[in-house]
Amino acid sequence: MRTSLVLLACVGFVQSLGRVPLSRLPSVRSRLRAANQLDEFLREHQPDVFSRRYAQCYPATQHYLRMGGRSTERLYNFMDAQFFGQISLGKPEQNFTVVFDTGSTDLWVPSSYCVSQACAMHHKFKAFESSTYGHDGRVFGIHYGSGHLLGVMAREELKVGSVTVQNQVFGEAVYEPGFAFVLAQFDGVLGLGFPQLAEELGSPVFDTMIAQGLLDEPVFSFYLKNNGSSFGGELLFGGVDETRFVSPINWIPVTQKGYWQIRLDVVKVQGALSFCYRSTQGCQAVVDTGTSLIGGPARDVLLLQQFIGATPTAVGEYLVDCVRISSLPVVSFLINNVEYSLTGEQYIRRETLNNKEICFSGFQSIDVPSPVGPVWILGDVFLSQFYSIYDRGHNQDLHKLQSGSSTPEKR
């Protein structure tokens, strides 16, 4: 029985849901490792790709590209993304596999006019084949470690599960930088963060769904499975699946709109180590479905790695002896006076390479400057153990968590 984590403003009975099945596939990091290219790739991209994603959590100014579009200096790090779902654009429908990412807000897919090698390996949007396409002409850019992803903006009919959105703003990528995108299992990204994170001008997908009255409740929810199978869970728009979790509900306010950001009271390692406790404000946590790992301040995570007996590799990953997993300490996150605990089996990532099992720590160092305390990132290592719900309605400043035990999986 799993503890359930729920993020919501209120939960009511929902008549209909937009249900999107999620697949779990090997991450870019895993594929690079299997191809014996991971060490070289990480050496060439030495800057901390994980922390740069959040480096603009509190931007003093907005960055612009000279071509008149908007850009960001954040780095979206999808190297470890492993949960994907399908959307379609246009009439007739053109299908794309995307990362549903609560850590960003924009929707983009490759354009048929894209000149990058990465685009040649993925589905490309063909505007000339769609009868519902609307040209926009504005440009956008997102900065990645290997350069800018560049594109033009457009409007199109979007289908996500059973929900059909009219005239949705999205980006057509005409240049995707770097080798990582070549190996990526996804075509594009559908962001589910707050509008304040948007780099494209126009309404984000979830806001458009709400504005067009397509949902019974302004809620979406994730059920993520990380049990080694290709079934990755599901994403629901418009409500929750109450068969996936058991009450009670723990209510948590969003501390700053943009990311789904909340207060984290304390992080404890089997009662022997504690982080955040020295600050009267605790820490901040970003709940991020687009990141697989759990990230924390470098000094704290280094102590945590040492305590669980993880040893560093040359490229910054941490290995754990697989035979020790059952004896590893429990790591707990105290959120609104409710403990969310992970065992070694839950925070260690297992991979098979050349018929040999390798075990990696699910924790990674980040250092995000913040005026409201240290920032932790709760990625899929954490979220795959809990059911998460995100509610933009009623009181929009509220982001809630729920504890309890999940019911047996139903498919």
Separation of CA 115 from chain center: 27
User: CA-to-CA distance for 123 and 29, rounded, in angstroms?
Assistant: 21
Edge to edge, the sheet with strand 273-275 lists: 273-275, 266-269, 331-335, 338-342
- Options 136, 187, 265, 288, the catalytic residue: 288
Cβ–Cβ < 8 Å for 366, 377: yes
- Options 101, 136, 265, 300, the catalytic residue: 101
Cβ–Cβ < 8 Å for 215, 2: no
Separation of CA 223 from chain center: 13
User: CA-to-CA distance for 124 and 113, rounded, in angstroms?
Assistant: 8
Q: How many CA atoms lie within 13 A of 231 on its CB side?
A: 8
User: CA-to-CA distance for 325 and 308, rounded, in angstroms?
Assistant: 9
What residue type is assigned to position 53 of the chain? R
Cβ–Cβ < 8 Å for 301, 283: no
User: CA-to-CA distance for 346 and 22, rounded, in angstroms?
Assistant: 20
Token pair, residue 130, equals 């769609």
User: CA-to-CA distance for 180 and 169, rounded, in angstroms?
Assistant: 26
| CA distances in angstroms from 224 to 102, 164, 234, 366, 384, listed in the order given | 13, 23, 7, 24, 5
The yes-or-no answer on residue 187 being catalytic is: no
The yes-or-no answer on residue 101 being catalytic is: yes
Query: What's the length of the chain?
Result: 411
- Look-up: residue for tokens 């549903």? 100
Residues carrying an active site annotation = 101, 288
